[in-house]
Amino acid sequence: MSKPLILVSNDDGITSKGIKVLVNAMKNIGEVVVVAPDSPQSGMGHAITIGNTLRLDPVDIFEGVEAYKCSGTPADCVKLAKHHVLKDRVADLVVSGINHGSNTSISVLYSGTMSAAIEGAIEGMPAIGFSLCDYSSEADFSHTTEYVIKISKQVLQNGLPKGTALNVNFPPKGEEKIKGIKVLRQAKAKWEEEFDKRFDPHGREYYWMSGKFVNFDKGEDNDEWAIANNYVSVVPCDFDLTAHQFISKLDTMLNREEVEKEVLP
């Protein structure tokens, strides 16, 4: 039987440490093709390029692997891979990462890593985004490979619901071994931003964003809890942002006769 075709992308750029770890792991499983940004694209979310040219250039970075650097966003990379690089082939799996930093909780909305994975899911391909919750420039990715391979093989063997991508986060490497895998929900948390007003050498104002991550979730069934307790967190995600539980109530609220009468002169 032929090897599964695996498309690799990320948001940290094609020369990042994390994508090298991911490519090496995927080479143990199947035929690998890489299409990744030519520069860091962290925090780009699901942005796509519509007003500028997109460039795609072959690179010889990963031994024995067909690879391209793209001038666009992570979502652009997956789109170009599907429509141009792979041509008449469809990837059996799309993997993105391994991101240098956490993509738990609300960060999934801002994440270029997860946007590449979700773009794969939109295009009908099983997809996984991998992230390491360690922002250190010297972050150690070595403990992730075993789980990257295990999760990827399971998805290849069993598939995912159409339109679903997995958001996988790893705790930083410590003295204690990872306890295992937890399949959970996204924690209810957010970033509380601050904007520092500064001035450039010409006296013109500019702002520098900073802030802190605040976790409001006290449950033990979410990704933040898993990482804090040294588990690999796995959250199934899809791109349907509909608040299904509110549809009926909103419909009733907006279609009440009393509301219509109140707004009439």
pLDDT tens for 99-109 read 999 999 999 99
What is the mean predicted confidence (pLDDT) over 250-255? 92
Does the pLDDT at position 112 exceed 90? yes
Distance CA 72, CA 24 (A): 24
pLDDT, tens digit, 9 for 90 and up, residues 147-185: 999 999 999 999 999 999 999 999 999 989 999 999 999
pLDDT, tens digit, 9 for 90 and up, residues 15-51: 999 999 999 999 999 999 999 999 999 888 999 999 9
Q: Any idea where the domains of the chain sit in the sequence? A: 5-187+217-263
Using DSSP, state whether 256 is helix, strand or coil: coil
CATH number of 5-187+217-263: 3.40.1210.10
Distance CA 135, CA 125 (A): 29
Does the pLDDT at position 222 exceed 70? yes
pLDDT at 211: 83
Distance CA 77, CA 251 (A): 39
Distance CA 112, CA 160 (A): 21
Residue 11 DSSP symbol: S
Using DSSP, state whether 99 is helix, strand or coil: strand
pLDDT at 217: 85
Q: From the CA atom positions of the chain, what is the Rg in Å?
A: 21
> Cβ(73)–Cβ(101) under 8 Å?
no
